[in-house]
A and B are shown apart, each in its own frame.
Chain A
Amino acid sequence: MSAFASPSVEIETPEAGSAPRGLFAWVATVDHKRIGILYLLTALVFFIVGGVEALLMRIQLARPNNTFLSPGAFNQIFTMHGTTMIFLVVMPTLFGLANYLVPLMIGARDMAFPRLNAMSYWLLPFGGLLLHFSLLAGGAPAVGWFSYAPLSETQYASTHGVDYWVLALLILGVGSVATSINLIATILTLRAPGLTIRRLPLFVWMIFVNSFLVILAIPALNAAIVMLFIDRNLSTYFFSPTHGGSALLWQHFFWAFGHPEVYIMALPAFGIISEVVPVFARRPIFGYEFVAASTVAIALLSFGVWAHHMFAVGMGHPIDLFFAASSMLIAVPTGVKVFAWSATMWGGSIRLTTAMLFAVAFLIQFTIGGLSGVTFAVVPIDWQVTDTYYLVAHFHYVLFGGTFFAVFAGLYYWFPKMTGRMLSERLGKLNFWMALIGFNTAFFVQHFLGLMGMTRRIYTYPDLPGWGLLNLISTIGAFLLGAAVLVLLWNIVVSLRHGQPAGDNPWQAWTLEWAATSPPPAQNFDRVPPIRSRRPLWDLAHPERPDPEVGGPTSRDEFALEKNRVSMVTFLISEGAFFVMLILAYLYYNNHTMDGPTPASTLNAKKTGVFTLCLLASSLTIWLAERKLEARKPAAFRWLLALTILLGAVFILGQGQEYLHVFHAGVMVNSNLFATTFFTLTGFHGLHVCVGLVALLIVMGLSLAGDFKQGRIEAAKSIGLYWHFVDAVWLVVFSVIYLRLLL
């Protein structure tokens, strides 16, 4: 392979004539660029939906005691607005940009798993449609985007809106986790030669770190909403205080997802800014290492701050103080980034294109939002301003004034690459100024409304002095912002037809995507430039003063990673997070005696212990099977594999038998919280075992078809890893539930 060749990912190129054309080509595509654009277009559609919802709310709130929307309608709209914007707009936009750009920026031909990529995309429109179907099925959910219990239980939310919300989020969550696994595998295994981890463009680095946030946070959400779904549909009481459940546990579980989620929405935006600002200031990013390390710091700390959403709940001062400390601490790495971006501009030669204008606005607006966030970390201040419009202003400043302005910057920056045409700068400047004025008008006054005592999520308010005026101003700003979005859409439409042709590198940028044509061909690159620093195209353009050769390959980071293994390990991490939440729920509810069935009265630990040994033995047999496979002994492999499947099936039958015994004793899932948590935890584990058995059977089938003869056994080994994981989880589950009975 020549030093300039990109690592090859063999995609079956269909014969000419049989290739899908036109619209069907878009539906059937596995090309990351098209999938990225599909994400962006879908997000745009939902952005308009969410935006209209926002404007409807602003109309209702423009005057006191307004009757434009009924309270029921308003409550559904604010719930849908939040859910739509977070799950159907911001996350897909960021994933879409990542999808498009990451393979290009690392000099790869496509993502590691193109078909998985396509599946991840299609879960988005279908998940979004499922959520909106609730409007036709009794009403959208009206419990707020974080759906606090017990308001979201059947007793208080009797329509099926919340159920649709749960199912839609589960579907969307699968897509998000799959995309993140794909991104991790891609970034770890498909980088062009010379592109070490320490030389990654900051956008790619932030997407990489962000992907770990996703795979850990989304399972936490899944665990919580699954438990809510079980509550609502099987009459259990996970979160209903009336029968021993805990309303606060919902909040802990939800915010364990919710807080990393807001960083999931912020980190890719930081990545965009880290690309845009240097190019338009004509300077490399100031302090790459600190920016990269601060990203990791933010990701780590984001798991330790969740209860700052619960300062008003009454957890007690020690807990409040610890979370205050961690929440304040997380401001430091974010500040490092803001200073780095600002310092990048110093000494540069700044071109104020539309992209740069949006990036500069991001800097100021995100700082405002971040600082108001720091005020929330000061617990007594939070005690006054949480759940008011001051909070609404804060999160819109970081999510719209921050993330979305960064997305606009990215759009103006990468549109030429994606389409081959420049967006009109004239319309772009109009778009920018309207957006800037509209956004700040709409949301800056909301800080004051919150300080004046206006709580959030109210469909109307009394005619108190100043409330009507400020709300009206906010509404006017919102409409101006809406108009700015229309200008953007118009710009896109017009530029697609008549925009100035872009060329490969209209901005004289320095990362690898600008070495491809605009738009890039299906295989992205025929040749990849030599990579000796963080700015390969700068080195090519300025051979007289190239960047210093930092971050080159060392023995440390040229570890050999294989994409099947990487993706399976990543997947298992996410599944592990899911089980951790279920185990925590079990421990929480079973640490004291309660009425009704108990482990001692219901379970047969000795029998289950025997079945446990079967399951553990199956781990041994599959390990042996893998050794046989490596030694090219397919017959022995198949025998041991069959034995594994048999032992697994015995375990499942044992579990089933235990369930039957428990049912006969009159214990149902809603008998008491022990029964609920027992069935939930062992049930999901059993489900994972069954899925594993199916996978093992597929491996058996592939082996019989001769698939592993050439030595391409990584897929089989990955399934083996899954099986070991399932067994390890059972060990923990068994210890938690049954071991106490045996000791």
Chain B
Amino acid sequence: MQANFSPIFDPASSQAAAISGLFMVVLLICAIILAIVVGMVGVGLIRFRQRPGSAEPPSYFGNRKLEIIWTAGPTLIIICLFVLTARGMRQSDPPANQEPDLIVISHQWWWEARYPQTGVATANEIHVPAGSKWLVRLQSADVIHDFWVPRLARKMDVVPGNTNYIWLEARVPGQYAGACAEYCGAQHAWMRFSVIADSPETYAAWLREQQNPAALPATDSARQGLKIFQTMTCANCHSIRGVSVAGSAAPDLTHLAVRRYLGAGVLSNTETNLFRWLKNPQASKPGCLMPDLKLTDAQASAVASYLETLQ
């Protein structure tokens, strides 16, 4: 839980803490400068208000010394700020030639997360072990997006044709909200994700679960849902490991049921919402790239019940 109204000032990593500390210093400097200006203007307005019947005041054209002071002074402040900036940047300087611990691929309008060491693939919810500093590689499948988890790290654009790297580290276990921070089209607003830092044991358990293929459907409804998944075009875009693999045009659904949200944050993950989504994704997230498949209520209900078994 956030301890502060602002995630930027509630850092949970050394990188974010460095930025937060720097921000507070700079805000203080700015506040002092603003106070000086407000003071000059405010006091000036009161002291030198026109008194009725007063003559034109004497003409005063400037004071060279004062002007030099208020040019040199800010320049010195700027130099200090620059030094602080250079120092603050050192915290987030990842190497580009190391193997990443996590690969994040941004799509319109969802986040694909791949764990290269284990082959795990998931979407919109990224689990990391708390206390570890991970190297994340950022790639885009289409337009420019931006990976932003304010409590943990700087923003980094995800640029098609380029690869960017950032460090991701969460000091304590918790849930850290993230969002895409570069306008990327119709549903930029709902391209939210979360980074969930688990204790090392919990993380290991999660990773193990993720590596398993999809659970087999246990009820009739779920079996029906699986059949619909395979026969209608769902399997063309969505992968369910153990059932079919489809590339990454759409989120991997192998363990959909443990995720907290659907549609990159637009709906929370309940069976009712999943039903709503399946009936007409365009109603929940207009403009998203999943077409309205015109499922009947029965079909949608079946698929929802199947998908909710995918722990």
A/B: CB atoms within 8 Å of each other:
yes
A692 to B196, CA, bound (A): 65
Which listed residue (B6, B57, B70, B85) contacts A379, Cβ 8 A? Answer: B85
Which listed residue (A142, A381, A456) contacts B26, Cβ 8 A? Answer: A381
A70 to B40, CA, bound (A): 47
Question: Given A328-B82, A451-B8, is A156 in contact with B185 using a C-beta cutoff of 8 Å?
Answer: yes
> Is B3 an interface residue when CB atoms closer than 8 A count as contact?
no
| A356-369 vs B, Cβ < 8 Å mask (1 yes, 0 no) | 00001001100110
> Is A566 an interface residue when CB atoms closer than 8 A count as contact?
no
A371 to B244, CA, bound (A): 55
Question: Given A72-B286, A312-B156, is A375 in contact with B26 using a C-beta cutoff of 8 Å?
Answer: yes
Interface residues of B in 34-50 (CB under 8 A from A): 34, 37-38, 40-41, 44-45, 47-50
B14 CB, min distance to chain A CBs, angstroms: 12
Complex interface: chain A residues within 8 A of B50 (CB): 282, 349-352
Nearest-CB residue, chain B, relative to A451 = B6
Interface residues of A in 270-293 (CB under 8 A from B): 281-284, 286-290
> Is A52 an interface residue when CB atoms closer than 8 A count as contact?
no
Indicate if the CB atoms of A286 and B157 lie closer than 8 Å: no
Indicate if the CB atoms of A381 and B22 lie closer than 8 Å: yes
Complex interface: chain B residues within 8 A of A329 (CB): 75, 78
Stretch in contact with the other chain, from B119-127, B176-184, B200-208, B297-305: B176-184
B59 CB, min distance to chain A CBs, angstroms: 6
Indicate if the CB atoms of A350 and B189 lie closer than 8 Å: no
Indicate if the CB atoms of B154 and A380 lie closer than 8 Å: yes
Complex interface: chain A residues within 8 A of B159 (CB): 241, 247-248, 313-314
Which listed residue (B7, B44, B93, B187) contacts A350, Cβ 8 A? Answer: B44
Stretch in contact with the other chain, from A89-97, A128-136, A168-176, A335-343: A335-343
A343 to B146, CA, bound (A): 44
> Is B293 an interface residue when CB atoms closer than 8 A count as contact?
no
Interface residues of A in 282-327 (CB under 8 A from B): 282-284, 286-290, 312-314, 317, 320-321, 324-325
| A441-456 vs B, Cβ < 8 Å mask (1 yes, 0 no) | 0000000100111011
> Is B241 an interface residue when CB atoms closer than 8 A count as contact?
no
> Is A422 an interface residue when CB atoms closer than 8 A count as contact?
no
Complex interface: chain B residues within 8 A of A684 (CB): none
Indicate if the CB atoms of B19 and A381 lie closer than 8 Å: yes
> Is A201 an interface residue when CB atoms closer than 8 A count as contact?
no
A364 to B18, CA, bound (A): 30
Indicate if the CB atoms of A324 and B56 lie closer than 8 Å: no
Interface residues of A in 138-160 (CB under 8 A from B): 142-144, 148, 150-151, 156
Complex interface: chain B residues within 8 A of A459 (CB): 189
Which listed residue (A144, A313, A348) contacts B48, Cβ 8 A? Answer: A348
> Is A518 an interface residue when CB atoms closer than 8 A count as contact?
no
A576 to B8, CA, bound (A): 44
A288 to B59, CA, bound (A): 13
> Is A437 an interface residue when CB atoms closer than 8 A count as contact?
no
> Is A457 an interface residue when CB atoms closer than 8 A count as contact?
yes
Which listed residue (B59, B66, B189) contacts A460, Cβ 8 A? Answer: B189
Stretch in contact with the other chain, from B99-107, B128-136, B160-168, B220-228: B160-168
Nearest-CB residue, chain B, relative to A70 = B286
Indicate if the CB atoms of B157 and A542 lie closer than 8 Å: no
A248 to B144, CA, bound (A): 10
A148 to B184, CA, bound (A): 9
Question: Given A364-B41, A367-B34, A466-B5, is A150 in contact with B143 using a C-beta cutoff of 8 Å?
Answer: yes
Nearest-CB residue, chain B, relative to A465 = B5
Nearest-CB residue, chain A, relative to B40 = A342
Which listed residue (B61, B84, B177, B287) contacts A378, Cβ 8 A? Answer: B84
A70 to B41, CA, bound (A): 45
Which listed residue (B38, B74, B189) contacts A331, Cβ 8 A? Answer: B74
A542 to B56, CA, bound (A): 10
A342 to B33, CA, bound (A): 13
B199 CB, min distance to chain A CBs, angstroms: 25
Question: Given A371-B30, A385-B8, is A453 in contact with B54 using a C-beta cutoff of 8 Å?
Answer: no
Question: Given A347-B57, A348-B57, A453-B6, is A71 in contact with B186 using a C-beta cutoff of 8 Å?
Answer: yes
A473 to B33, CA, bound (A): 27
B161 CB, min distance to chain A CBs, angstroms: 3
Complex interface: chain A residues within 8 A of B189 (CB): 71, 457-461
Total contacting residues, chain A, CB less than 8 A: 92
Complex interface: chain B residues within 8 A of A368 (CB): 34
Question: Given A72-B287, A241-B160, is A286 in contact with B185 using a C-beta cutoff of 8 Å?
Answer: no
> Is A547 an interface residue when CB atoms closer than 8 A count as contact?
yes
Interface residue range, chain B: 35 or more
Complex interface: chain A residues within 8 A of B144 (CB): 148, 150-151, 247
A312 to B27, CA, bound (A): 20
Indicate if the CB atoms of B60 and A286 lie closer than 8 Å: yes
Complex interface: chain B residues within 8 A of A338 (CB): 37
Which listed residue (A281, A328, A349, A387) contacts B155, Cβ 8 A? Answer: A387
Indicate if the CB atoms of A380 and B89 lie closer than 8 Å: yes
Question: Given A312-B157, A343-B40, A448-B5, is A375 in contact with B30 using a C-beta cutoff of 8 Å?
Answer: yes
> Is B115 an interface residue when CB atoms closer than 8 A count as contact?
no
A453 to B27, CA, bound (A): 18
Complex interface: chain A residues within 8 A of B44 (CB): 342, 345-346, 348, 350
Indicate if the CB atoms of B85 and A324 lie closer than 8 Å: yes
Indicate if the CB atoms of A282 and B56 lie closer than 8 Å: yes
> Is B231 an interface residue when CB atoms closer than 8 A count as contact?
no
Question: Given A345-B44, A348-B57, is A336 in contact with B78 using a C-beta cutoff of 8 Å?
Answer: no
A288 to B60, CA, bound (A): 11
Complex interface: chain B residues within 8 A of A6 (CB): none
Complex interface: chain A residues within 8 A of B93 (CB): 317
Interface residues of A in 419-470 (CB under 8 A from B): 448, 451-453, 455-462, 465-466
Indicate if the CB atoms of B160 and A332 lie closer than 8 Å: no
Which listed residue (A287, A352, A457, A545) contacts B45, Cβ 8 A? Answer: A352
A377 to B160, CA, bound (A): 26
Complex interface: chain B residues within 8 A of A348 (CB): 44, 48, 57
B23 CB, min distance to chain A CBs, angstroms: 5
> Is B71 an interface residue when CB atoms closer than 8 A count as contact?
yes
Complex interface: chain A residues within 8 A of B60 (CB): 283-284, 286, 347
A451 to B161, CA, bound (A): 30
Indicate if the CB atoms of A332 and B78 lie closer than 8 Å: yes
A494 to B30, CA, bound (A): 42
| A651-689 vs B, Cβ < 8 Å mask (1 yes, 0 no) | 000000000000000000000000000000000000000
| B210-226 vs A, Cβ < 8 Å mask (1 yes, 0 no) | 00000000000000000
> Is A570 an interface residue when CB atoms closer than 8 A count as contact?
no
Complex interface: chain A residues within 8 A of B16 (CB): 384
> Is A598 an interface residue when CB atoms closer than 8 A count as contact?
no
> Is A386 an interface residue when CB atoms closer than 8 A count as contact?
yes
Indicate if the CB atoms of A150 and B160 lie closer than 8 Å: yes
Complex interface: chain A residues within 8 A of B71 (CB): 290, 332, 336
Complex interface: chain A residues within 8 A of B154 (CB): 312, 380, 383-384
Nearest-CB residue, chain A, relative to B90 = A317
> Is B150 an interface residue when CB atoms closer than 8 A count as contact?
yes
A386 to B181, CA, bound (A): 8
> Is A182 an interface residue when CB atoms closer than 8 A count as contact?
no
Question: Given A71-B186, A156-B185, is A380 in contact with B192 using a C-beta cutoff of 8 Å?
Answer: no
Closest 4 CB pairs of A and B: A241-B161, A383-B154, A458-B189, A287-B62
Write 8 A-B pairs (CB below 8 A) sorted by A numbering: A71-B187, A282-B56, A286-B60, A312-B155, A321-B89, A332-B75, A459-B189, A460-B189
